[in-house]
Amino acid sequence: MLRYILRRLAWSIPTLLIVTFLVYLALRIGTDPVASYKRVNPRATRAKVAEYIDVNGLDPNFVQGYFKWLKNFVTGEWPRSIKGRREVWPALKDAMANTLRLGTAATVVGIFFGLIAGVLAALRPGGKRDVFINTSAFVGISVPPFISAIMFQLLFAVYWQKWFGESLFPTSGVYPAGHTGFDLFLMLKFMALPTLVVAIQIIATYSRYMRSSLLDVLNSDYMRTARSKGISERRVLVKHGMRNALIPVVTIAALDVGSIVGGLIITENIFSYPGMGLYFLKSFGEGDFPLLMPWMVVIVASVLFFNLIADISYAWLDPRIRLD
Amino acid sequence: MAFRRFVSHRAAVVSCAIIAFLTIFVIFAPFTARYGVNQSVQGPPNSFLNPRANAWLGTDDIGRDLYSRLIYGVRVSLLIGLASAIISVTLGALVGAVAGFRGGKFDDIMMRVTDLFLAFPFLVTLLVVRNVLGALPWLRPITGDMSSVRFIIVLFGLFGWMGVARIVRGQVLSLKEREFVEAARAVGASRRYIIARHLLPNSVGPIMVALTFSVVGAIIGESTLAFFGYGPQAGDGATSLGILVGAAKGAVQTGYWWLAVFPCLVLIIIALSINFIGDALRDATDPRLDRGV
């Protein structure tokens, strides 16, 4: 097991390098960082531009440039943003913290309710409850997050205010303007709608996964064996059924991080929530290479990390999997 | 048999009717729309009128009829969905079939690339790929201008093949071990012949399913791009579902509910209907699936 983990870890470093190189290439071709620097800073002297090119590794030779960028990145000499020369790390750190909070809340809520819905559907397949849960999940998957976000804003904020005098939930930011310090209740209120939007997608996806996975397990031979041994139905379900049904779900959950982040980006933008999504769309729109590259590295690394977790958890949970 | 199974899926039959109706409705847009795409319903003041007799679904910021614009918008969106789905399914079926049949290095690399692309947040990949496509001058004759509908079609065509390739590859992997393929090989059929005459025709079910999901993917993708301001531009007043949904963003806070509700509703109906059709097709063409269980 340990050897397997170490081998996978060792492999993830070259993968990370290759993928970041591809990202570097795509951003250099797609956003033309030097041109956007000149656009944002029209009065920059030639020396300033040369310095910008040097510190960002934007040499005409892509491979050389990449390694120069990599060296600066690893040694911590991160270039400043093209607009306002802000430091990148504090902005990135705040964005990461905010997204982590929103993402964790949505994932916990989503997986919890999704699994319950899936189990309820699978216990009586074909019944009314199953049809209801399945259809709702189908609708939940089909509605793109930005549509549900708009609808929630319209209902809970704009029209709620019109009908009842005060909007139920705020629609943008983490705190009201001018607020300082930490306030859990206020924060939860601001996070409610974006969490709901992301959680709906997760609930819909996971209830379907859980349903089909549990159905597979319920129809298997070892469930019949367990029942025929006279174990109580409840115990059969929890010990034999649920545990085995969760194996594929856990794996999918770890692989799904990319799509959850995708939903977060869209949702954050609509609710002006200052997380990774807003950070990305802003810096991408401005072609801000110094801001974009570290963001990409964080995303690539977390996608690879959760892939690793998926493989390891799969191997660990399911003894039938051979590691070599 | 497959047809009967499809028809027994009630939601899918209703969805088929809705999509057929919508398609006919938007094809005859010059007759079904009440105003031109860029025509205002009355003289000023005409902006932000709520739904009324001469503008059934209200008007937008410069007094154009939302109902007529929706018809023209759905026309463009359906075109984007269908055209890009055909491109991506053709590409994906070919790549998937070859990868699954030949195996080896090609298969490994193809599937690695596919995994990588699918693991990333959809919008990020889409935006980056969009910019790269737009920045390559030698692609200009194919893609057209970055703000054109053609560019969006090519973008989703090139973007959507990976999911299809994966599905077709899986199908081919299981088919190629079957007796009739072995028989074909035994009588000396070439690889190309086996792929074209045995493997692809037998994968029609999954390919059709992939086609429906690609259509939805492209329509929603276009709306997402347009929503964030990276979609096709409304040159000459031409519109798309995405542009209309994007305009909803600004209408929410000001309380012009019709500008938000109607385009979103149409998008939801289209997405749901096509998804239902795809779901029913999958159930109908996959004999291993037991419906209702």
Chain B positions with Cβ closer than 8 Å to A: 11, 116, 118-124, 127-132, 134-136, 216, 220, 223-224, 227-228, 245, 248-249, 252-253, 255, 257, 260-261, 264, 267-268, 271-272, 275-276, 279, 292-293
CB–CB of A201/A263 below 8 Å? yes
* Structure tokens given for A236: 């059969």
- Which value does ipTM take for this structure? 0.85
Task: Report the C-alpha gap between B86 and B157 in whole angstroms.
Answer: 8
* Structure tokens given for A314: 């799969």
The band of A308, judged by pLDDT with boundaries at 50, 70 and 90, is confident
Across the interface, which of A126, A158, A303 has its CB nearest the CB of B293?
Answer: A126
B231: pLDDT strictly greater than 60 = yes
* Structure tokens given for B279: 């779901």
Across the interface, which of A26, A151, A266 has its CB nearest the CB of B264?
Answer: A151
Q: Quick one: pLDDT at residue A116? A: 93
DSSP code at position A44: -
Task: Report the C-alpha gap between B15 and B270 in whole angstroms.
Answer: 9
Task: Report the C-alpha gap between B120 and A22 in whole angstroms.
Answer: 13
* Structure tokens given for A108: 């916990």
CB–CB of A5/A312 below 8 Å? yes
Q: Which of B128, B151, B266 to probe the A interface (max A CBs under 10 A)?
A: B128
Q: Please tell me the distance in Å from A2's CA to the nearest CA on chain B.
A: 24
Q: Quick one: pLDDT at residue B170? A: 87
The band of B37, judged by pLDDT with boundaries at 50, 70 and 90, is confident
Q: Quick one: pLDDT at residue B19? A: 93
* Structure tokens given for B121: 């947040």
**A252, closest residue in chain B (CA to CA):** B119
* Structure tokens given for A192: 């409610």
Is the model more confident about A118 or about A251?
Answer: A118
The band of A125, judged by pLDDT with boundaries at 50, 70 and 90, is confident
The residues facing B65 across adjacent strands are B59
Region of A133 on the Ramachandran plot (φ > 0 left; ψ -120 to 50 alpha; else beta): alpha
Contact yes or no for B121 and A147 at CB 8 A: no
Q: Quick one: pLDDT at residue A203? A: 93
Contact pairs from chain A to chain B, CB under 8 Å:
105
- Read off φ and ψ for residue A83, nearest 5 degrees: -100, 115
In degrees, rounded to 5, the angle at the alpha carbon of residue A274 between the alpha carbons of residues A269 and A276 is: 75
Q: Quick one: pLDDT at residue B237? A: 57
* CA-based radius of gyration for chain B: 22
Q: Quick one: pLDDT at residue B1? A: 67
Query: What are the C-alpha distances in Å from B55 to residues A70, A229, B25?
Result: 58, 70, 18
Across A285-324, b (16+ Cβ under 10 Å) vs e yields: ebbbbbbbbbbbbebbeebbebbbbbbbebbeeeeeeeee
The band of A106, judged by pLDDT with boundaries at 50, 70 and 90, is very high
CB–CB of B59/B65 below 8 Å? yes
A110: pLDDT strictly greater than 80 = yes
If you average pLDDT over residues B211-220, what whole number do you get? 91
If you average pLDDT over residues B233-253, what whole number do you get? 77
Q: Quick one: pLDDT at residue B290? A: 47
**A31, closest residue in chain B (CA to CA):** B131
B216 CB neighbours in chain A (<8 A) are: 142
* Structure tokens given for B211: 């086609």
Indicate the average pLDDT of chain B: 84
The band of A227, judged by pLDDT with boundaries at 50, 70 and 90, is confident
Contact yes or no for B276 and A265 at CB 8 A: no
B287: pLDDT strictly greater than 80 = no
Is the model more confident about B120 or about B81?
Answer: B81
| Model pLDDT for residues A169-184, shown as the tens digit of each residue | 777 777 766 666 677 7
Distance of CA B29 to the CA centre of its chain: 20
Chain A positions with Cβ closer than 8 Å to B: 19, 23, 26-27, 29-32, 125-126, 135, 138-139, 141-144, 146-147, 150-151, 153-154, 158-159, 162, 171, 215, 255, 258-259, 261-262, 265-266, 269-270, 280-281, 284, 299, 303, 307
B130 CB neighbours in chain A (<8 A) are: 30
Domains and CATH numbers, chain A: 2-74 (no CATH), 89-316 (1.10.3720.10)
A312: pLDDT strictly greater than 90 = no
The band of B292, judged by pLDDT with boundaries at 50, 70 and 90, is very low
A280 CB neighbours in chain B (<8 A) are: 124
CB–CB of B292/B13 below 8 Å? no
Q: Please tell me the distance in Å from B211's CA to the nearest CA on chain A.
A: 16
Is the model more confident about A273 or about A314?
Answer: A273
Q: Quick one: pLDDT at residue A21? A: 93
The secondary element (H helix, E strand) that includes residue A274 is: none
CB-based burial of residue A283 (10 Å sphere; 0-12 exposed, 13-18 middle, 19+ buried)? buried
* CA-based radius of gyration for chain A: 24
B288: pLDDT strictly greater than 60 = no
Q: Please tell me the distance in Å from A262's CA to the nearest CA on chain B.
A: 4
Task: Give the orientation angle of helix B257-285 with respect to helix A128-142, to 10 degrees.
Answer: 120
Sequence-ordered list of residues with C-beta below 8 angstroms from that of B181, at least 6 positions apart, any chain: B175, B194, B198, B199
Task: Report the C-alpha gap between A174 and A197 in whole angstroms.
Answer: 16
Q: What is the pTM of this model?
A: 0.87
A109: pLDDT strictly greater than 90 = yes
Query: What are the C-alpha distances in Å from B10 to residues B13, B276, B278, B290?
Result: 5, 10, 13, 16
Q: Quick one: pLDDT at residue B291? A: 43
Rounded percentage of chain A residues whose pLDDT exceeds 70? 97
**B273, closest residue in chain A (CA to CA):** A142
| Model pLDDT for residues A27-79, shown as the tens digit of each residue | 998 888 888 888 888 888 888 888 888 888 888 888 999 999 999 898 888 88
If you average pLDDT over residues B147-162, what whole number do you get? 86
Q: Which of A17, A21, A134, A142 to probe the B interface (max B CBs under 10 A)?
A: A142
Q: Quick one: pLDDT at residue B229? A: 83
Task: Report the C-alpha gap between A291 and A288 in whole angstroms.
Answer: 6
Query: What are the C-alpha distances in Å from B144 to residues A303, B13, B139, B188, B268?
Result: 33, 38, 8, 45, 29
The band of A279, judged by pLDDT with boundaries at 50, 70 and 90, is very high
| Model pLDDT for residues B255-274, shown as the tens digit of each residue | 788 888 899 999 999 999 99
Q: Quick one: pLDDT at residue B236? A: 58
Q: Quick one: pLDDT at residue B82? A: 93
The band of B39, judged by pLDDT with boundaries at 50, 70 and 90, is confident
Residue that has been written with the tokens 């007094």 in this structure? B63
Q: Quick one: pLDDT at residue B293? A: 35
The residues facing B59 across adjacent strands are B65
